[in-house]
Amino acid sequence: MKSELLFIVNPVAGHGRSMRVFSRLESVMDQVAGLKRLVWLTRGPGHALELARRAALEGYDRIVAVGGDGTVHEAINGLMGLKPEILNRVSFGVVPAGSGNDFSRNLGIPTDVGALATLLASGSSGLADVGTVNGHYFANVAGVGFDAEVARMANRVPKLVPGTLTYVTCALAQLAVYRNAAVRLTLDGQVLERRALLVAVGNGARYAGGMTICPGARMDDGVFRVVVAGDLSRAQVLQVLPQVFPGRHVAHPLVEVWDAREVHVEADRPLSIQADGEVIGTVPATFRLLPRALPVIGLRTPEPGGADAELREAEGAREPAPETEASAPAADPAGPRAEREPAKREPASEPGRNPAFPQSSDEDSLPGGGNGYFERRRRRDSA
């Protein structure tokens, strides 16, 4: 194995911010004895994927992406396609220097260059979960519907402003033309039918530069946090959108939160799919979780009672039921894993009692959460 840190630097990430951050980081690393490094620059879209794969195959054991979530997404897709015996000897690191940096934010990776240099020098790593959708890997959040169309628009406009502002601007533009869809979700075998604005499948909690779309999601707990935004009207979306930043949107009576390891989504039209903000196709979509799949430098499990625990408690997220002595599985030497059926979170408050979200009228959703499209299709198929 090669002892150097291999940096894959996207020079245009964050409008050139990546090069400024990396220059400061190099100045600090020069003071750290024995911290050798090699730098490869990306030349365009998809190149980080190729470089990450090449670095692992050539024997580099610490591969660090310098850029934003797009760079991280490409690098992870390059690494995850490798044979396990190669991937298991690699540690993946990140220097957050893009417009979004949600991967780093989800993991609590520092932005201070001094702390980053110390972290990278230590090489201390933990195993992160990785998601797949239709064979494509993602680290943070994937989903279908409204947010995928927003991602499509955001990827086409010049990134002249921070990622969050770009997302909000594109969301407002999409809101004028987007129609909610009839969807069928299968969560670890449990079937739901809804009219929905979007379905977000979270390995991590945040996307789009800090919007907490899947509050309480953790990248090391072995389960997706699935958020279904139901048949919200345009006025309701405008009301809910500001609440997504702190993750309070899940208190709305038309927003549901579930935990599952495998999610399948169908719809009454070809809804777009996004993975880490990249549009990768249309439904049907199958999301699967790969637990403890990627060694990540600096991965830490949140402390009990810390920010993540507070967020889960505030949003009423359902934790695994305590195991009895008879039913408890054998301990995993690498750490505890979540073993549970798909579980809906307990409501943070009774629907309609949250003053920020008045009870919806009957016109906002269909009785029982069903929808006419799949009922018509069942009748047609049985005819």
- pLDDT tens, residue order, the chain (383 aa): 677 899 999 999 988 899 999 999 999 988 875 678 999 999 999 999 999 999 999 999 999 999 999 999 999 999 999 999 999 999 999 999 998 899 999 999 999 999 999 999 888 899 999 999 999 999 999 999 999 999 999 888 776 566 678 888 999 999 999 999 999 999 999 999 999 999 999 999 999 989 999 999 999 999 999 999 999 999 999 999 999 999 999 999 999 999 999 999 999 999 999 999 999 999 999 999 999 999 999 986 554 444 444 444 444 444 333 333 333 333 333 333 333 446 665 433 333 333 334 333 333 333 334 455 555 555 455 55
Please state, in angstroms and rounded to a whole number, the distance separating the CA atoms of residues 143 and 366. 22
Identity of the amino acid at 183: V
Residue range(s) occupied by CATH 3.40.50.10330 in the chain: 2-123
Residue range(s) occupied by CATH 2.60.200.40 in the chain: 138-290+341-374
Q: Is the dihedral of CA 237, 243, 249, 251 positive or negative?
A: negative
CATH, range 138-290+341-374: 2.60.200.40
**Which residue, among 144, 227, 145, 131, has the nearest Cα to 180 in the 3D structure?**
145
CATH, range 2-123: 3.40.50.10330
From edge to edge, which strands make up the β-sheet containing 141-145? 278-282, 272-275, 141-145, 198-202, 224-229, 255-260, 343-344
Q: Provide the CB-side half-sphere exposure for 350 (13 A, CA).
A: 1
